[in-house]
Structure 1
Amino acid sequence: MRKVTTTYQEDEPQNPFALSIGDLMAALLLIFVLLLSSTLLRLQDEFENKSLIAERYSSIKEDIYKELIKEFEKDLKDWNATIDEKDLLIRFSGPRVEFDFGKSEVKPQFKEILSDFFPRYVKIITLPKFKDNIEEIRIEGHTDNKGTYFHNMELSQNRTRSVLNFVLENTSYETTEKTWIQLNLTANGLSYSKPIADNDTELGQSLNRRVEFRIRTNAEKQIDEILKVNLNE
């Protein structure tokens, strides 16, 4: 008769704190979901903040443009000027009125225009609802492509300085706003780097010789501040 041998195996001790592979994967998945949710919420907040700034920026631009049109629409034709809604600029395109050829001294007729234009312009840009949202008022000078780039850079810069000096020293705008205007008004000569017409024609060259008053809002600065806050959180 065959003898049956029974082998008994001693049970291994169980660790009550041991996790199975399935439990470990479930825990890692939960952590991942929580991190993803946190990131998505943060991105949503950032997007909403940017959207609010974009909406506010567009609204401010639109309001400034409406005020400029309301104030100057009847004068634009006489001044040979236009108002650009996209870039918030007033463009004076009368080179024969503004300066003599190759010169930077403001001509008498353009002085008359500036004397009428600038005090009214200051009243608009220093309104409380606009002033705190304006980064800079740029007087920009542009030339045609006759002569070298650097010669025209010097000429356009000298012209904008002449315009800046005249409007600050010889126009009767509100003196209470003088400090703000001086801190935010700049002169910028751009040579022929930003033509608006074909420099191969006399008409195009005439259009490219121009002076512009451009408003820059601080929307970019506000976006940068939000980005800094988000990065530091």
Structure 2
Amino acid sequence: MLGKRVIGRRVNRDEAEKPFWISFADLMTALMVLFLVVMGVALLAVTKNVTERERKQEQHRKNIEEIMRRFEEAAKRHEGIKVDKQRQVIDFGQRARFAFGDWRLTPQQEDVLRRFVPEILMLANDELGKSILKRIVVEGYTDKTGTYLANLNLSLQRSQKVLCTMFATTGQSLLSDDQKEQVRALFFVGGYSFNAAKDTDEESRRVEMRLEFLGVDENRTAPPASARNFGECALR
């Protein structure tokens, strides 16, 4: 009888412990499944974000290539003007070449610039242009003759003269007030002294327009409203 009672107690104790261990195992299994689900969702979210960012970057690259192609097509309609896709600049070549130590352009050179600018504005302000083009920097260059600071000032004068040409009130192919307003909002002046000099001094005395592009998800800043008081150029 005693033996039977002892055996009976052991059986009852084992049976009492079984529900606890089964419950603990189920809990660990549930936690593991929950962990795997959470990690799966996290990895999916990260992958989705990376994929979306890569898609935007690829579309951004294609947009730049497309607008550069359009600028190149526009330049072909004007003899002597070229587009360097690699450097992303508009090179006017002989059409905007300066004499030694001078910042002035001939009336013919000014006419060429004013006839090409409306095409730039049209491309810059269509749907693609507004989504990708940030601004256009007019960069003047000099040859290596003279001091750095003197040439820096001369290169700035050459850039400024190109902008002044766009705001001229006399001469051929004058821009309208609407176009001048767009020029003021889009164009900037830069000077580069004799940095990036060409093979010859004559080729170095030039002006280029460098295209700067918006970053991914960046928007072009709207210019502040202002009266159309453009003033007069200080360079004569």
TM-score by length of 2: 0.67
Distance in 1 (CA, whole Å) between partners of 2:56 and 2:151 is 38
Q: Are 1:115 and 2:114 an aligned pair?
A: yes
List runs of 5+ in structure 2 lacking aligned partners: 1-12, 220-236
Structure 2 residue corresponding to 1:211, chosen from 196, 199, 207: 207
Q: Hey, what does 2:225 align to over in structure 1?
A: none
Distance in 1 (CA, whole Å) between partners of 2:118 and 2:184 is 14
How many residues get paired? 206
Q: Are 1:54 and 2:27 an aligned pair?
A: no
- Displacement after TM superposition at 1:84 (Å): 1.2
Matches within 5 A, 1:70-89: 70-76=73-79, 79=80, 81-89=81-89
Which amino acid is the alignment partner of residue 210 of structure 1?
Answer: R
Q: Hey, what does 1:160 align to over in structure 2?
A: 159
Equivalent position SS for 1:147: coil
- Displacement after TM superposition at 1:160 (Å): 0.5
Contact 1:160–1:187 (Cα < 8 Å) also in 2? yes
Equivalent position SS for 2:44: helix
Cα gap change, 1:115 to 1:37, in 2 (>3 Å)? same
Q: Hey, what does 1:68 align to over in structure 2?
A: 71
Cα gap change, 1:44 to 1:144, in 2 (>3 Å)? farther
List runs of 5+ in structure 1 lacking aligned partners: 1-10, 198-202, 225-233
- Displacement after TM superposition at 1:93 (Å): 2.7
Identity over the aligned pairs, expressed in percent?
21
Which amino acid is the alignment partner of residue 135 of structure 1?
Answer: K
- Displacement after TM superposition at 1:61 (Å): 2.2
1:119-143 CA deviation, whole Å, 9 max, x = no partner? 2322222223323432111111122
Structure 2 residue corresponding to 1:180, chosen from 172, 182, 196: 182
Q: Hey, what does 1:200 align to over in structure 2?
A: none
Which amino acid is the alignment partner of residue 210 of structure 2?
Answer: R
Which amino acid is the alignment partner of residue 186 of structure 2?
Answer: N
- Displacement after TM superposition at 1:177 (Å): 4.4
- Displacement after TM superposition at 1:19 (Å): 6.4
- Displacement after TM superposition at 1:34 (Å): 5.6
Equivalent position SS for 1:188: strand
Which amino acid is the alignment partner of residue 179 of structure 1?
Answer: E
Distance in 2 (CA, whole Å) between partners of 1:74 and 1:180 is 22
Q: Are 1:222 and 2:224 an aligned pair?
A: no
Rg larger for: 2
Q: Are 1:43 and 2:33 an aligned pair?
A: no
